[in-house]
Amino acid sequence: MNVAKADALLLVDVQCAFMEGADAVPGHLALQQSIARLLGRARQAGVAVIFLQNDGAPGSPDAPHSAGWQLYFPPVRGEHVLFKTEDDGFLETGLQTLLDELGARRLALCGMLSEMCLAATARAALQRGYNVLLPHDAHATYDVPPGPGGSPGVPAALAARAAEWSLGDEVQILPGVEAVAFSLASTTGG
């Protein structure tokens, strides 16, 4: 299997509201396993692990300090948690500064929602010159309901795939988390 290298892992909105219970994304059990493997491999390699935690609106499933707002995978010592209120994980979070300090240039992304915060963060990373890896089995979204004019709904798995496709050919879509190899960031800018 061909592997792609990353020197940092960004977990986008991997919060309890989306990962467990009746309101979890479809396929959440498989998603939990994939992200757990990816996170374990990043930790074992000693690369930067950054959690982006969404501060949802009051009353939303991810409203700050609610049960759903909590990170599904608790960070360990040395990992970073940045709070955000926008889809783009770079807006008003300090993510750019942190990545610069860490020397990270090759980012593996996982989380949700595929077409919203995950895609917005991936696009923003590309615009800033980062290499972006997206394992197919490490992001998810909800079913898209039927739309106007009788348009049919879209199953979550297809919506997630369409979100991948919408990112264009600059993002490296990988078949799964096993295709991500983590290595420490180069101090020489390579």
Tokens for 165, please give them: 């496709």
Which residue's entry shows tokens 């980062």?
Answer: 130
Q: How far apart are CA 144 and CA 167, in angstroms?
A: 18
pLDDT in tens, 156-186: 999 999 999 999 999 999 999 999 999 997 7
Dihedral of the CA atoms 93, 33, 16, 89 (nearest 10)? 20
Quick check: helix, strand or coil at residue 160? Answer: helix
Q: Is position 16 annotated as part of the catalytic site?
A: no
pLDDT in tens, 71-112: 999 999 999 999 999 999 999 999 999 999 999 999 999 999
**pTM for the whole thing?**
0.94
Q: How far apart are CA 185 and CA 130, in angstroms?
A: 12
Choosing from 95, 107, 117, 171, which is the catalytic residue? 117
